[in-house]
Amino acid sequence: MPYPKPGEIKTDLGRARGMGSAKSGTHHWWLMKVTALALIPLTLWFLQSFIFDVAAAGGDFNTALEWIKKPYHSFPLAILLVVNFYHAELGGQEIILDYVHGKAQIPTLILYKFFCYGLAALSVYSVLYITFKM
């Protein structure tokens, strides 16, 4: 075995340090699960309300407008949109980490973050605008 170079004289622990977190390693996974759990009732509520209250009433402009303007619709809808895009951000991040490597990885992650948070902001703004300005 050749002599180790200066940087290689390290214990296993010394080598592992700084290579990853020992404190928040499960944080991403945990948020994925919590947002998934929250999305079960939120999405099911939206689907059934969309079918029985919007589509069944014709699905026209006025029906959709009046549906969103009800506070008991706009409030859970805004929460659904935020949690949905947060969950999408967490999930997409995993896909990017698996398939995009090298110099492109971090820019892709940042662009995807902008995309998800931008859509969350845009959709919540639309709900607020419809509720208060229309």
Partner 1 sequence: MSAQTPPTKKPRPLSPHLQVYNMFAITSLTSMLHRITGAALVVGSLIVVYWLMAISHGPEAYSRFENVAHHPFGQFILYGFLWAFWYQLLNGCRHLLWDTGIGLKLKTAKLTGKLILVGSVLITLVTWYVICSQTGAI
Q: Which residues bind partner 1 (CB under 8 A)?
A: 1, 4-8, 15, 33, 36-37, 39-40, 43-44, 47, 51-52, 55-56, 58-61, 64-65, 68, 81, 84-85, 88, 91-92, 95, 116, 119, 122-123, 126-127, 129-130, 134
Q: Which is nearer to partner 1, 59 or 107 (CB)?
A: 59
- Rounded to whole angstroms, the maximal C-alpha distance in the chain is 79
Residue with tokens 């659904």, as numbered in its chain = 80
Q: How far is Cα 44 from Cα 60, in angstroms, rounded to an integer?
A: 22
Long-range contacts of 92-101 (CB under 8 A, 24+ apart): 92/116, 93/28
Q: How far is the CB of 105 from partner 1 (least distance, A)?
A: 17
Provide the minimum distance between the beta carbon of 39 and partner 1 in the complex, in angstroms, as a whole number.
8
Q: Least CB distance from residue 108 to partner 1, whole Å?
A: 14
**For partner 1, the closer CB: 31 or 64:** 64
Which two tokens mark 122? 């845009």
Degrees, nearest 5: CA angle 73-78-83: 130
